Amino acid sequence: MPELVFEKKNILITGGAGFIGSHLCERLVHEGNRVICIDNLSTGTVRNIESLLPNPNFQFLRLDVNDPIDLDGHAELAAFKLPFQGIQEIYHLACPTSIKQFDQFKIQTLLSNSVGNYRVLELARKYRARMLFASSGVVYGPRRIDDPYVVEDQEGIVLNHLSTRACYDEGKRFSETMFATYRQVHGLEVKIARVFRTYGPRMPLNDGQLIPDFALSAIDGQDVVVYGGAPFHTSLLYVTDCVDGLIRLMKAPTDHWLVNIGSDVDLDIAQVAQMVLDIVGAKAAIRHDVPMEFLSELALPRIGRAKELGWLPLVRLEDGLKQTIDYVRANKILLTTL
């Protein structure tokens, strides 16, 4: 990693206007870093980073990582002094994520998991930046009945690499291969975070996302819909815990480069839906609907490696649900309109 010329670190975040990316931008700016946020706003939104826009240590660029990226050509980055200081860290989160509109973004997802990776890896090679890729728990394949838990050195199997959702599932596996190869060939300091299901404020509404859609239905007095059979099990990690895990992994020694970031607590999602109803004070019913292609039970992560970084999920489910419900209640008119 380049030696710091100035007191502030230059950090690039792709997908920085998305759900997790915006929280990561916020945390890193508040820690005193200079942050460049890149997003094409396909599934992210400027609203997520609105509070950061006036900050001189933050700069948003509406760019697509699938296109060539030349940061030196952007006059608005003059304060970052890239020719002298370069970029110290890159967090690569850019990839469309939408449950109900998954089909709409298939080609973009395919390109993000190939061409987009190449563009960002070449940036890391240019600046000799430390690099973190946000992978996904989907690389382990479907949850096993005999043992739902997975560890990092366990080989995952995507059952059908030609399936209708393979552009994401197999795409994340190929992405990990790209990052590992650049680590081997070019000596880049690469980190891979396998992120499991995460929730919290700034998730899109009416997109099939579990918690915000539960909250919206409960607030409106409508039935809460669980997409998938009964029971439907998953783990849930609050977004600030996820961000803390990503930052700890980025700072970790070189040999800590592949880590699960997620909750290891198995939850019946119908019981979570009931918790949302209880917090809101609603008397609506819970009903199950047909599964959606991009919403499935995931394996549960073993988090021993993450614990070695001093990381643990700290936010209690009830507290995280309250924060998410408060966000939905405060923003639902604007968000549902848009």
List, for residues 94-105, the tens digit of each pLDDT value. 999 877 777 888
Q: What is the pLDDT of residues 224-271, one digit of tens each?
A: 988 766 688 899 999 999 999 999 999 999 999 999 999 999 999 989
Q: State residue 102's pLDDT score.
A: 79
Domain ranges of the chain: 10-199+236-263+298-314
**Residues designated as active site:** 168
pLDDT at 4 > cutoff 60 = no
Q: State residue 49's pLDDT score.
A: 98
Residue that the structure tokens 């007095």 belong to: 221
Q: What is the mean pLDDT of the chain?
A: 91
Q: How far is CA 138 from CA 21, 142, 266, 269, 320, in A?
A: 19, 7, 16, 18, 23
Rounded mean pLDDT, 323-331: 93
Is the CB of residue 238 less than 8 Å from the CB of residue 200? yes
> By mean pLDDT, which of 2-11, 13-22, 184-193, 276-285 is the weakest?
2-11
Q: The CATH number of 10-199+236-263+298-314 is which of 2.10.240.10, 3.40.50.720, 3.10.290.10, 3.40.50.2300?
A: 3.40.50.720
- Rounded Cα–Cα distance for residues 113 and 309 (Å): 27
Q: State residue 1's pLDDT score.
A: 47
